[in-house]
Structure 1
Amino acid sequence: MDQYLLWERLVTIVLIFFTSRFPIAAATANRLYPALFAFGDSILDTGNNNFLQTATKCNFPPYGKNFPGETPTGRFGDGKVLSDFIAEALGIKETLPAFLSRNISNEELHTGVCFASGGSGNDDLTAKAQGVLPLSAQLEMFQNYKTKLTALVGAKRASNITSNGLYLLSSGNNDIALTYSLVASRIKFFPNYADTLVVSASNFLKNLYHQHGARHVWVLSTLPLGCLPGLRTLFGGPSRQCSEIINGEAKIFNDKLAKEVSSLKTSLPNFDVRFIDVYTPLLDLIENPSNAGFKNVANGCCGSGTLEVAVLCNSLCVLCPNASTYVFWDAGHPTQRAYQLMVSSILPTKNI
């Protein structure tokens, strides 16, 4: 037999043996990031709130209507959320499990989990008011995760997973849409409040870097909050237009956050931290719905049908016939299809 053919067959046999014996390691070798970790709010939460003493949870129908098996997992929408689609787009896995899930497998721990808690924010008052997990508690959960992972795979491999994994942070949405708009606006000048939020986010990111060895982080902007169906009703006037005041506040916060992320990237060695704009792609769907086949941008598919006041995590909503034609699922969260289009918009702009 030709020496080259003999060598080629030998290599093939070795590769088959390796990938069959060590499927996780082989799959990891083909990914840029071995794992994904999500922190923050309901944009990323995949079910952690199910296990908290809080009313801020959505683990009942019709939530999950378009999730595989029509399962109400506790995700704040009709199906997958942003963290799921990012995990899938990066080739990590199809869905990102919640860390507090009772049936999470050891294999799932290898490729990352979600620590986000719907209703949380940079301001601890935001989480406290709803009885959900502030960012500090989410970091404590991450420390518990690292202990479990180390026991499973050893310190060296665990360190490789956590240092090379990708971290997502979505915070600020609830601080602006709820805490500031409904409470703090009476006593605080928004730019000052935004500064406080950015300092909190920055401290969280520094903690991830210094204490937990994170080196790859995507920091998400807020959504165009003034266009959420619930806030259209409260602040958009009789015609329920997008609130330019609240969108303006979101822009102020996002600009300040982007500058802080840039500063951290410059000042901390080997810190691949990036600001990810999700405000613009969602606003584009809202302003140009027909381009993507959407028919309704002002109401939630799971809503009241008209005003959308407080129709959020409510099993008694008026359900639309087709969620894929709606940008929003309820008073405050995009549909699965809107999330999917947002991810397809933001990923090509990142040199991943």
Structure 2
Amino acid sequence: MDAARAPLLASVLCLLAAAAALPAASAARAFFVFGDSLVDNGNNNYLLTTARADAPPYGIDFPTHRATGRFSNGLNIPDIISEHLGAEPALPYLSPELRGEKLLVGANFASAGVGILNDTGIQFVREHRQDRRPAARLYELGARQVVVTGTGPLGCVPAELALHSQSGECAADLMRAVNLFNPQLVDMVRGLNRALGADVFVTANTLRINFDYLNNPQKYGFTNVQVACCGQGPYNGIGLCTAASNVCANRDVFAFWDAFHPTERANRIIVGQFMHGDTDYMHPVNLSTMLAMDRERL
């Protein structure tokens, strides 16, 4: 496997487990995040890994204008969900600041390349083959509101376009894999909810959410949904985003920040559907409805 393709395979494994867990109703909700570089907010800063986003131009549009370990020009998906919750972002699991009252906010366990443990990805595949309900373990640990994201348009990211595309078409083999996986994820979650007798687990149709703006960019204010804002080579999809890379002047009109990850603007569109999308996007309910049901139980 070539180095450029390896991070994409890791993202597939991580996205299967990407989740936002909000435990049972209480005065303050704790927010826990599991996943890969799409939701990592700095764990890899503390790890010996090449999957890092702790140097410019990452963070160019973050409130501090500094690289934080988020694979974004600014805020990522968990940050924006926290905004909707009216809470500060959960700190990285490995941050030395995660102690005391900060623990009540929650914690972010995501790691780019799923690298908190060296064998995390391998272990996930092994467990998923043996137990088709690994997410049930979150329920056993007390999680009562869990969003599980489906796999997005992996074949359409700039890295894949740079490797395989002649005229901007998405990589067909990866899109076939996505279209096979996502319906099975929804079926698995439905089975979990039936077994638990409650809609604890919610699936997010990230493929459809992404395709809304990829197929109709003008509606969402994008002028470019194929070329990464930061990078080099075809589609700016070759190699890493570094200080030596091309960087677009207006990140708000680009859907992709680097070879694999959305811009903050795209992340805001994604979270908007998480919060308010109908059943074509969120099944069986969206996050706003889930939180309203939680308040009614108080």
TM-score band, normalised by the shorter chain?
0.7 to 0.9
Native 8 Å contact 2:161 2:237 kept in 1: no
Partner of 1:262: 190
- Give the alignment partner of residue 67 of structure 1, picking from 62, 69, 73: 62
Return closer, same or farther for 1:96/1:202 CA change in 2, 3 Å cut-off. Answer: farther
Partner of 2:216: 288
- Give the alignment partner of residue 109 of structure 1, picking from 103, 106, 119: 103
Native 8 Å contact 1:62 1:315 kept in 2: yes
- For residues 156 and 255 of structure 2, the distance between their equivalents in structure 1, rounded to whole angstroms, comes to 11
Q: Is residue 213 of structure 1 aligned with residue 213 of structure 2? A: no
Native 8 Å contact 1:224 1:250 kept in 2: yes
- For residues 298 and 252 of structure 1, the distance between their equivalents in structure 2, rounded to whole angstroms, comes to 23
- For residues 218 and 268 of structure 1, the distance between their equivalents in structure 2, rounded to whole angstroms, comes to 15
Q: Superposition pairs for residues 166-315 of structure 1, below 5 Å?
A: 199=129, 202-210=132-140, 212-236=141-165, 238-270=166-198, 272-304=200-232, 306-315=234-243
Runs of 4+ in 1 over 6 A off after TM superposition: none
Displacement of 1:282 in angstroms is: 1.2
Q: Superposition pairs for residues 71-150 of structure 1, below 5 Å?
A: 71-93=66-88, 95-120=89-114, 134=120
Return closer, same or farther for 1:104/1:202 CA change in 2, 3 Å cut-off. Answer: same
- For residues 119 and 75 of structure 2, the distance between their equivalents in structure 1, rounded to whole angstroms, comes to 21
- For residues 294 and 57 of structure 1, the distance between their equivalents in structure 2, rounded to whole angstroms, comes to 27
- The structure with more helix, counted as a fraction of residues: 1
Native 8 Å contact 1:44 1:116 kept in 2: yes
- For residues 154 and 108 of structure 2, the distance between their equivalents in structure 1, rounded to whole angstroms, comes to 23
Residue identity matched to 1:225: L
Displacement of 1:308 in angstroms is: 3.1
Partner of 2:23: none
- For residues 111 and 247 of structure 2, the distance between their equivalents in structure 1, rounded to whole angstroms, comes to 25
Residue identity matched to 1:260: M
Q: Percent identity among equivalent residues?
A: 34
Q: Superposition pairs for residues 315-330 of structure 1, below 5 Å?
A: 315-330=243-258
Residue identity matched to 1:208: L
Q: Is residue 341 of structure 1 aligned with residue 295 of structure 2? A: no
- For residues 192 and 156 of structure 2, the distance between their equivalents in structure 1, rounded to whole angstroms, comes to 30
Native 8 Å contact 1:36 1:92 kept in 2: no
Residue identity matched to 1:35: A
Q: Which runs of 5+ in 1 are unaligned?
A: 1-27, 121-126, 138-170, 172-192
Q: How many residues align?
A: 255
Residue identity matched to 1:134: T
- Post-superposition Cα deviations, 1:251-302, rounded to whole Å, max 9, x if no partner, equal 2111111110111111124461111111111111111111111111111111
The residue matched to 2:103 in structure 1 has which SS? helix
C-alpha RMSD of the superposition: 2.6
Displacement of 1:221 in angstroms is: 0.7
- For residues 200 and 275 of structure 1, the distance between their equivalents in structure 2, rounded to whole angstroms, comes to 21
Native 8 Å contact 2:146 2:200 kept in 1: yes
- Post-superposition Cα deviations, 1:5-54, rounded to whole Å, max 9, x if no partner, equal xxxxxxxxxxxxxxxxxxxxxxx63x6xx111000111111110111111
Residue identity matched to 1:243: A
Return closer, same or farther for 1:280/1:312 CA change in 2, 3 Å cut-off. Answer: farther
Partner of 2:42: 47
The residue matched to 1:69 in structure 2 has which SS? coil
Return closer, same or farther for 1:301/1:132 CA change in 2, 3 Å cut-off. Answer: farther
User: Which structure is larger by alpha-carbon Rg, 1 or 2?
Assistant: 1
- For residues 204 and 314 of structure 1, the distance between their equivalents in structure 2, rounded to whole angstroms, comes to 37
The residue matched to 2:111 in structure 1 has which SS? coil
Q: Which has the higher contact order (CA 8 A, sep 6+)?
A: 2
Q: TM-score under structure 2 normalisation?
A: 0.78
Displacement of 1:133 in angstroms is: 7.0
Return closer, same or farther for 1:61/1:132 CA change in 2, 3 Å cut-off. Answer: farther
Q: TM-score under structure 1 normalisation?
A: 0.66
Q: Which moved more, 1:197-206 or 1:335-344?
A: 197-206
